[in-house]
A and B are shown apart, each in its own frame.
Chain A
Amino acid sequence: MDLQSHPQPELGRLEQIVSQFLLKSLHIVLDSRIPSLRPARDRSGNVSGISRVRKSDKWFSLQLGDRPAALDNLHFWHRNLMDPMIIDIILVREGSNSSSSMDNVYSTAAVGTSVETVIERWVVQYESPRLMATPTGESSATYKKIYKKLIILLRSLYSTIRLLPGYRVFRLLSSLTQSYDFDIIYKVSSFTEPFSRAEEEVMKHYSFLPVEALSGRLCISVTYHQTLSDFNLEPLTAFPPTIITDYVGSPAADPLKAFPSSEKGIRATSFPLRGRGVRSPSSAPFQRPHSWTSGGHRAAPFTPNQPLSGSPPAFRMPYMPYDLPTQPLDIYGHGYQLSPPFSPSQSPSPPTYFSSSNPMYSRFSSETAPVTIPLPLVGRGSRYLSPNSSDPSRHSLPPLSPRSTRHDPSSQESPSGNRSFRKTEGLRIGEYSGTTNNYSGQKVLKDSKDDSGRFSGLLSSSGSPRIGFSRCSSRLSFQDDLDDCDFSGPFDVDDVDTTDSHASQNLDGKRASEFPSLAFPMTGKSPDAAVGVLVNMLRRAPPLRQDPSCCSSHSLKTEPEGEAGAASEFFMARKTADALEELRSYKEMKDLLLSKSGAHVVTREET
């Protein structure tokens, strides 16, 4: 309860002057050191236009604007004007990682959390040798003279506080364009521990000439650090944190900034996003905007640890500056937790790790590869199968083997140990994806369907899209990884990806014919004719594994043997268990479709 709002007539003029002097001093100090307490300011940092000046702000002819609410809470100074008012300006910095020697010298609190250092100590006091008594008989001129001197003293305080090193720190924190890993707080008290000898050695003392005020005198002094350069007060970022809209796997992501070049040996894995664009090899691996990759960009040797982190989304905003290749690493050396995913790797072979360690890169790079895999098996027909293969059919699986085999050489550019790394990290990547969003997974599914239904089938057949993504994304390029995939239902793809109507249509009308169609090229007909027949067969293909007697398709009836022969050869490259599993899943799909619209399926087939 300050005097201004609740004037107490019994207080003498001197007491009023002294108390207001204390408040004004506190206002000047805090207004020049604590950004959060500053009132609205214009661009130049000056008090914005105030049409009506408050009476309390007119004291000592120095208009500072509205007094912060925090000052009103410090009214206890009015209780005993004889007590000194000690204002500590404290610099708070991050934890014990600071290598500044200053921390060890005069840190009042540290270790693990934050380091607090008193950079300035202001002492405002009314020194009186005896108890202050209400002066009597003093002329008005005396008070005017005292008041005038106090005006000058406060002007000096106002100017001086802007010339001290602490003002620079205040301006840094007040900056809206940069953020820092330190802060300034204050503490007001009437008693505090004195500085240690070590602290006093690096601090300087300055005292204003006291103003004699009747029975006492008003004094202002400051002890401050002569230089704050030892505190490493560096900006964290030159840009304000921004929300990254094109997060990992987002369709809106700029492909050009997403994926590295296949020349890095990443083409082995057939990550569907590959088709979206390929980065130039020179800058590829490090310019992805995504947190865990941009972190890898910044810390290339650290990339092996990228997949170990499940927290990149949490660091999305801090990662943003990492998108700028020019950002020095040390700026983010403190405060940011971006580095954990990119902490120094223990891998013995970082370069090779990079080509394979980042599953996303590897996945992205070889998206289009699966399209060409069927060639060795079925010639041109395989190409035709590509859209067909978007069908999450088991028939798309066989091409995987040669596809993966084909890419293996490129992936084998990396040491074989990387494959195991991909295996182990695939699950982690899946966890990461799962913890964040399924967008990347879904996108993978979508794109994979464009290129190879096999992959989408693989992904969709996983127990959950997320996990499937994790498993399959890393295993897309590796046959041995594929073997471990559990595909519960290819229709999960449709469930996940509803935008690919082409794939869904293929599912309904062509999956049954894939099996026989695969066998078609084996009959020895000319390629063009084979294609035409294949088209007809696909159109009239009955439901998958449907009783041939129920279907109007003749292809199934007329080509059971060829189908069997083709199937036997077709499945040569696959394991029986996988085929049976897929058969089972397709059967379930068929049953489901039949239950829903069995008549419609027949109608479509006939047309």
Chain B
Amino acid sequence: MNCEACDLKELELENFQIREVLRCILHTIVFHRALGLVRPKDIDLELFEITYVQCGDAEVERKINEKIDQFISWVEKHPNKKSQICLSFYEVKNKQASWFTNKIERRSWEYWYINLNVAQHPKAHSSKSHHSKAVVDPGESASEDRSLRRAALEASLREVLFQIIKFVNEKKDHIPSIPSAEGVSFPYEITIPSSSDSAFGMDMFKRMLQSGHPTMLS
């Protein structure tokens, strides 16, 4: 069984946009992978004119919100850094117990990499302004920049959503049989950057060793 990976387009956003953007992307992916009986739930973004769909599973929503909170905490400690969140779907295989291992093997069959570039744009009169020149009226230019960034982010987010839809349509053969008839049928895991970048890389390396398959970028 193949393992597919989808590297989504990088999004440039600000701190206050992280929650909505991540909720939109994660829920959209899960909705397309929750192949059990679901009652779709339309959610309108507050920051953008985008409506995405949730599978309506309360546990999924709780888990996603929890991971997003952890990620936001991490971003606050590591500002102005590019980061990546990984959503992976796996199946559990009971490995035959041996003398040394009694683990339940996880085999991930799909990886989703959400690339974010969280930039903390300074407000007006800030000395850390990216636009270092002394602006006579920085308020207006800052607001214009923000609106432009917002529009760009909305367009990019739409692209990401279409990217997800295109991927789920094109890649279907690697999906294992539906184990559960209700809700989220496949177990999944959301991995956020850890306290250090190196640790984050190590986490990903460990995942790859566990799954036994190298990550293949689509």
Contact = CB atoms under 8 A, between A and B. Distances in A.
Nearest to A167: B51
Contacts of A336: none
A110 to B, nearest CB: 30
Given A44-B42, A159-B53, A152 B37 contact: no
B169 A159 contact: no
Nearest to A144: B177
Contact of B165 (A45, A149, A156): A156
Does more than half of chain B's interface fall in helix, strand or loop, or is it mixed?
mixed
A102 interface: no
A187 interface: no
A159 B178 CA distance: 21
A163 B49 CA distance: 9
Interface string B111-123: 0000000000000
Interface stretch (A57-65, A81-89, A374-382, A580-588): A57-65
A63 B175 CA distance: 22
Contacts of A61: 35-38, 181
A20 to B, nearest CB: 15
A195 interface: no
Given A46-B42, A162-B52, A163-B162, A155 B37 contact: no
Interface string B32-65: 1001111111110000011111001000000000
Q: For the side of the interface on B, what is the size category? A: 20 to 34
Nearest to A58: B37
B169 A153 contact: yes
A160 interface: yes
B130 interface: no
Interface in A134-156: 144, 148-149, 151-153, 155-156
A61 B40 CA distance: 10
B161 interface: yes
A239 interface: no
Q: A153, A155, A167 — which one has the most chain B CB atoms within 10 A of its CB?
A: A155
A158 interface: yes
Contacts of B41: 44, 46
Given A45-B42, A152-B169, A159 B35 contact: no
Contacts of B43: 44
Place the interface of chain A in its size category: 20 to 34
A144 B181 CA distance: 13
B172 A162 contact: no
A63 B170 contact: no
B35 A148 contact: yes
Contact of A152 (B32, B161, B181): B32
A258 B42 CA distance: 47
Contact of A162 (B36, B38, B42, B168): B42
Contacts, number: 75
B161 to A, nearest CB: 6
A549 B138 CA distance: 99
A1 interface: no
A153 B172 CA distance: 10
A47 interface: yes
A599 interface: no
A76 interface: no
A243 interface: no
A62 B38 contact: yes
Given A151-B35, A159-B161, A162-B53, A208 B42 contact: no
Interface string B156-168: 0010011001001
B101 to A, nearest CB: 32
Looking at B39, B161, B165, B169, the one whose CB has the most chain A CB atoms below 10 A away is: B169
B170 A209 contact: yes
A155 B31 contact: yes
B35 A47 contact: no
Contacts of A209: 169-170
Residue from the set B35, B42, B56 with the largest chain A CB neighbour count within 10 Å:
B42
Contacts of A63: 37-40
A149 B51 contact: no
Contacts of A211: 172
Nearest to A155: B32
A148 B40 CA distance: 17
Interface in A38-79: 44-47, 50, 53, 58, 61-64
Contacts of A156: 32, 165, 168-169
A556 B41 CA distance: 91
Interface string B92-125: 0000000000000000000000000000000000
27 contacts: A44-B42, A46-B56, A47-B39, A61-B38, A61-B181, A62-B38, A63-B37, A63-B40, A64-B40, A144-B177, A148-B177, A152-B35, A152-B168, A152-B169, A155-B31, A155-B32, A156-B32, A159-B32, A159-B53, A159-B165, A160-B165, A162-B52, A162-B53, A163-B162, A208-B169, A209-B169, A211-B172
**Top 4 A-B residue pairs of the complex, sorted by shortest distance between their CB atoms:** A209-B169, A63-B39, A162-B51, A61-B37
Given A152-B168, A162-B42, 8 more contacts: A47-B39, A61-B181, A62-B37, A63-B38, A152-B169, A156-B165, A159-B161, A162-B51
Interface of B: 28, 31-32, 35-43, 49-53, 56, 158, 161-162, 165, 168-170, 172, 175, 177-178, 181
